[in-house]
Amino acid sequence: MGFSEAQEELVLRSWKAMKSDSESTALKFFLRIFEIAPGAKQMFSFLRDAGDAPLEKHPKLKAHAVTVFVMACESATQLRSTGDVKVREATLKRLGATHARAGVADAHFEVVKTALLDTIRDAVPDMWTPEMKAAWEEAYDQLAAVIKEEMKNAA
Ligand code: HEM
Ligand code: ISQ
């Protein structure tokens, strides 16, 4: 399915509103993933290495979570201009390999999607509409699809 100009606008508008507070929003996103799926913590090497240190103090975590946010938003923009997700070939290869190695399954992609949508809803409650939800879902699903495809190649 194509991505309409209106959908792109919704993603960009909410992203701009969240940007100034992206670190704490990204942290909430990450914590939400583990609320839904506590077991997923074991998959992240940088968390395994952290021992019992509190998650919110973790140095790498916010940066990682912001990256994931930005990727979803950028892929939305590309969907609009090209009708396709264009992640740099090298980046995509790395993403496929990282996620395959970590043992990420399809069900995890649903968990991360739910966590992402919940986080955006809580960050911009006044903007949140079914249309905005659908736009972020579409952007995420398309990005997830290319990563999943690359994971098969990496396996
Ligand atoms: C690593 C993005 C979905 C778990 C990463 C990295 C990025 C990223 C940018 C950094 C490493 C690299 O660039 O290769 C994304 C995006 C996703 C997605 C954009 C969805 C559209 C998932 C899902 C899971 C997951 C569903 C499962 C819970 C992990 C793990 C790592 C990782 C375990 C490795 C962390 C480490 O040990 O260093 N992801 N990811 N990701 N991601 Fe994702
Ligand atoms: C990596 N992949 C998916 C989701 C993430 C959230 C926070 C930090 C790293 C991540």
Q: Are 62 and 23 in contact (CB under 8 A)?
A: yes
CA-to-CA distance for 115 and 99, rounded, in angstroms? 18
Ligand 1 centre from 3 Cα, in Å?
Answer: 24
Mutate to test the pocket of ligand 2, among 24, 27, 28, 30 (most ligand atoms within 8 A of CB): 30
Residue with tokens 């659908």: 134
pLDDT at 84: 67
Q: Which ligand has its closest atom nearest to the C-alpha of 95?
A: 1
Residue spans per domain, the chain: 5-154
Residue 119, CA atoms < 13 Å, CB-side half-sphere: 30
Please name which of 139, 133, 141, 135 lies closest in space to residue 117, comparing C-alpha atoms. Answer: 133
Q: How far apart, in Å, are the Cα atoms of 13 and each of 91, 101, 120, 131, 146?
A: 26, 35, 12, 13, 24
Residue with tokens 């077991």: 39
3-state helix, strand, coil in the chain (%, to 5): 80, 0, 20
Q: φ, ψ for residue 128 (rounded to 5)? A: -65, 125
pTM of the entire predicted model: 0.91
From first CA to last CA, the distance across the chain in angstroms is 28
Which ligand 2 atom lies nearest to the CA of residue 99?
A: 2
pLDDT at 75: 79
Ligand 1 centre from 98 Cα, in Å?
Answer: 7
DSSP per residue, 76-105: HHHHHHHSS----HHHHHHHHHHHHHTT--
Residue nearest to atom 43 of ligand 1 (CA): 99
Ligand 2 centre from 65 Cα, in Å?
Answer: 5
Which residues of the chain, if any, have pLDDT below 70? 1-2, 50-53, 81-87
At the topology level, CATH places domain 5-154 in: Globin-like (1.10.490)
